[in-house]
A = this chain, B = another copy of it.
Amino acid sequence: MASYTSIHLAARPTPGPITKDLFDVRTQEIPEIGPGEILVKQTHMSLDPAMIGWMSPDPESYIPPVGIGDIMRSSGVGTVVASHHPDFVVEDQVRGMLGWSEYLVSQGEGLSKLRPELDAETVLSVFALPGLTATQGLYGFGDPKPGETIVVSGAAGSVGSLVGQLAKADGLHVIGVAGDEEKCQWIKEELGFDGAINYKTDDIEARLAELAPNGVDIYFENTGGPVQQHVFDRMNAHGRIVVCGMIADYTSQQPAPGPNWIPLIKKRITIRGFAMPDHFDDVPALLDKLTPYVMAGKIKYRTHILHGLESSIDGLNLFFTGENRGKLIVKL
């Protein structure tokens, strides 16, 4: 019998980098499928910043944590290699929460077939969590209007890069914040952002004043960290702040405090934190909103490919270091 590997959560992370000892790598035989079942061989596995949160119990989080001993949660794309299920045939490409595993036996729940014109990388980079999150955050809470100014942190990341391109397509003035020059160049030259700020080397306050002379109407927050206070200080009256990610603060023992709330009154600002699982019922509408931008060629993306199931463990640390270049995908 052939064997396959799966990776199970073995311990809860502590602040700091993700380490191998948090996981248990298991090898087992590929099982026979029973009636109504399919066997899926995963080909592309998505790594997303939200996974860091899924590893830790938090009674107030939007989704239960991965249980100790359970296969680590992730979305992915795979190929059906055996089927006793009436809706699936061998060679169908399917997507779903496949988890950190090379093979998966399923009765088909939660799996959907890929539309034939889409490849796995486009699906995971645009039409999965990143695109849904960008669309929900920008249109559900950001209320973008042509001519307004939006600042996006984590602008070269999987969500931020889509938010900025959607806003640009809608006629907003788009400023991206990223952590190195290559990313700043990419969002400006390739994605068409109006301006980019390197938060590690630029004078953030001065650059914001230069790039957002009329203030900031929307702040799409993907990272937290030192840029937050500066953007907050430049918010316009009736500004909207959409809080989507705080990756810079997840690793700290003692997260830095946020801005004082006086400006919320003076400027009548709304701050809205959100997480996609609350909005899964809206996925069809979100895809209807997003798809025309993609079809019109307004949305570019790039992928950062890792190879082999076990590369996912250290791959998570790329979210902390910011060293990834594009949507993180593990090819199996």
Contacts and interface: CB of A to CB of B under 8 A. Distances in A.
Contact of A261 (B61, B246, B278): B246
A280 to B, nearest CB: 13
Interface stretch (A106-114, A123-131, A251-259, A314-322): A251-259
Contacts of A236: 60
A259 B262 contact: no
Given A268-B274, A273-B268, A274-B268, A262 B60 contact: no
Nearest to A237: B60
Interface in A220-242: 221, 224, 228, 236-237
B274 A60 contact: no
Contact of A265 (B259, B270, B273): B273
A269 interface: yes
A307 B267 CA distance: 34
Nearest to A60: B267
Contact of A257 (B245, B259, B278): B259
Interface residues of A, number: 38
A269 B272 CA distance: 6
A264 B58 CA distance: 13
A320 B243 CA distance: 33
A96 B244 CA distance: 44
B273 A261 contact: yes
A62 B228 CA distance: 23
Contact of A258 (B260, B266, B275, B278): B260
Total identical chains? 2
A192 interface: no
A13 interface: no
B243 A261 contact: yes
A250 interface: yes
A249 interface: yes
B255 A265 contact: no
A268 B228 CA distance: 18
B273 A246 contact: no
Contact of A266 (B53, B228, B257, B259): B53
Contact of A243 (B228, B246, B264): B264
Contact of A273 (B58, B228, B270): B270
A292 interface: no
A246 B267 CA distance: 13
Kindly name the residue among A228, A258, A270, A275 whose own CB sees the greatest number of chain B CB atoms within 10 A: A258
The 6 closest A-B pairs by CB, nearest first: A264-B273, A257-B257, A255-B260, A271-B271, A265-B273, A258-B258
Interface of A: 53, 58, 60-62, 221, 224, 228, 236-237, 243-246, 249-250, 255-275, 278
Given A53-B266, A264-B271, 16 more contacts: A58-B266, A60-B263, A224-B260, A243-B264, A249-B260, A249-B261, A256-B260, A257-B257, A257-B258, A263-B273, A264-B272, A264-B273, A268-B278, A270-B270, A270-B271, A271-B271
